[in-house]
Amino acid sequence: MRVLAAVVLTAFAAAASRCAAAGANKPLLVENLPASAEAKDFIRAGCNETCIRRPDAARACYELLLPYAASINSSYNRASLAIVTVMVSKLADLAKDLRSFGEAGKLEGCIRMLDETVAGARDQALPALGRISAIADDKLKAKDPDFLLVWNWLRDVDINFVKCWDGGLKRIMDRVPSSIVADHSEYAAAAIISRPRLKWAPQSPDGENP
Ligand SMILES: *[C@@H]1O[C@H](CO)[C@@H](O)[C@H](O)[C@H]1NC(C)=O
Ligand SMILES: *[C@@H]1O[C@H](CO)[C@@H](O)[C@H](O)[C@H]1NC(C)=O
């Protein structure tokens, strides 16, 4: 929770410095605001329609994003910021658990990758997603530099996470439950960001075209 708060604050700080001149320094994501039925339905349908090959990840996606339903307010751009914010906190939780796990030595590569992913998110991906979240879904362009940055970053995260998963995480997932949450959030982040825009860069999170 503390990590999530820090990440949200980082995104908030980035947005605040950008918007200070306009006097619109509202936080981008607020947890547990009362949400309309429509805003909640968007989360349910959005998670279901993007995580189409992983019902387990779709369920996790829904549970992880529901507290932000009001902030997301039926926008994939804002849902993208929310799911990556959540993913980063879950990857940080996993890195912490792996450090205290007995076999940590064998997972050093994973821990390093997770640390780098969290740092990269704070420096680049989350600020870019903060800017994207201020744009209406139908106004975001395929060549938006922030979107391309996020897309490329997330593709690398996905490749590295799968490598880590197959290289050892899968073996210990029952003993380190945060690895399952991290896996779900990572899949859901890739799905929410890329599936609604498959035509922009025809590569789905499952590695095949629809
Ligand atoms: C989930 O999506 C599938 C197909 O994408 C659809 O058939 C199904 O009705 C959806 N379920 C819910 C609960 O929205
Ligand atoms: C949610 O989106 C609708 C339609 O875009 C807008 O009219 C409304 O003001 C938004 N609500 C909040 C709380 O931002």
49 lines ligand 1 (CB under 6 A): yes
Residues near 76 by beta carbon (within 8 Å), at least 6 away in sequence: 46, 137, 192, 196
Task: Tell me the CA distances in angstroms from 77 to 36, 88, 150, one per residue in order.
Answer: 18, 17, 12
Kindly give the distance from the C-alpha atom of residue 70 to the centroid of ligand 2, in angstroms, as a whole number: 9
16 lines ligand 1 (CB under 6 A): no
pLDDT tens for the chain, 210 residues: list them.
344 444 444 444 444 444 444 445 678 899 999 999 999 999 999 999 999 999 999 999 999 999 999 999 999 999 999 999 999 999 999 999 999 887 766 789 999 999 999 999 999 999 999 999 999 999 999 889 999 999 999 999 999 999 999 988 999 999 999 999 999 999 999 999 988 887 776 444 444 443
Kindly give the distance from the C-alpha atom of residue 82 to the centroid of ligand 2, in angstroms, as a whole number: 17
Q: Which ligand is nearest to the CA of 210?
A: 1
| Beta carbons of 166 and 119 less than 8 angstroms apart | no
Q: Alpha-carbon distance 91 to 113, whole Å? A: 10
Mutate to test the pocket of ligand 1, among 41, 44, 48 (most ligand atoms within 8 A of CB): 48
